[in-house]
Homo-oligomer: A and B are copies of this chain.
Amino acid sequence: MALFGTIEGGGTKFVCAIGRTPDDLRDVVTFPTTTPDETLRMTISFFSEQDPLDAIGIAMFGPLDLDRSSATYGSVRATPKPGWSRVDVVSPVSEAFGVPVGFDTDVNGAALGEGRWGAGRGLETFLYVTIGTGIGGGGVIAGDSIHGLVHPEIGHLRIPRHPEDSFPGACPFHGDCLEGLAAGPAIAARWGRSATDLGPDSDRAIEFEAFALGQAMANLVLTVSPERIILGGGVMKIPGLLDATRQQMLASLGGYVDASIFADGAVDFLVAPELGDRSGIAGGLVLAERASSGLNR
């Protein structure tokens, strides 16, 4: 029976594990994402102590170079994350263990994990969007992960403003793009409290947040026509936010899309991850399995 290593490389923390499915993980470690040297050293050290692996999958924060014909395939592209621009992630892992290494974005990885074991099971076309410290999206279209010019970012979509919302936005590139209005740091900057501290008394904050997310979800429906959108990340744990986002999405679509899947307030269309916080680590297992089969995207 094959044994895989999986790496969920996030901007805040790295999670590494060994196993075959998200339910049979033998060992799991979590450590903060510091410098590339230190972080990759700890990663390699963890796997070195394990039984021999058949393949390793890496679901990594981006943007990434995923073009296998590129000289810099397997590396992080220009990123605001200090020290991580142009860092080759695949080669050190590949050279340390001499096994196939699968590589994709954290969000495409999470989509793959949910597609195999979670809320994306049986679907041909679906998206996974995470709303946390940043906003990012990935997904599967007609059974294949989305890879184009760069990869779907989704985080920086340009959306209309809530008419009563004058917050200038927190994105250093765009100000009031989706991430600038709705990611965790934007919530903290606007309301003076973190997303986890918002609750039932935070009607206005939840309304603005759901409005921004609802516009973005409507645009995704009108662009990619997914069968389902899975919304993960820490911000989505705000009580009431998922349902408020469903309502704003439907309001934004304005009855234009005639689809039974939007019945019952879209409860089966816009959903939480079934794997909870394990979507990404599960995705790394799928990437490892694919790499061991000679599939690299």
Contacts and interface: CB of A to CB of B under 8 A. Distances in A.
A150 B63 CA distance: 29
Contacts of A198: none
Interface string A175-193: 0100000000000000000
Given A152-B222, A225-B152, A161 B160 contact: yes
Contacts of A77: 258
A220 B150 CA distance: 12
Contact of A125 (B149, B252, B257, B259): B149
Contacts of A125: 147-149
A146 interface: yes
Interface in A250-269: 252-259, 261
Identify whether the interface residues of A are mostly helix, strand, loop, or mixed. loop
A124 B144 CA distance: 13
Oligomeric state, in copies: 2
B224 A152 contact: yes
A293 interface: no
Max count, chain B CB within 10 A of own CB: residue among A63, A125, A222, A254: A222
Interface in A187-236: 215, 218-227
A258 B218 CA distance: 26
A274 B212 CA distance: 37
Contacts of A150: 225, 257-259
Interface string A136-168: 010001101011111111111111110000000
A78 interface: yes
20 contacts: A78-B258, A137-B223, A141-B141, A142-B147, A149-B221, A149-B261, A150-B258, A151-B225, A152-B224, A153-B223, A153-B225, A154-B223, A158-B160, A158-B215, A159-B159, A159-B160, A174-B254, A220-B223, A223-B223, A224-B224
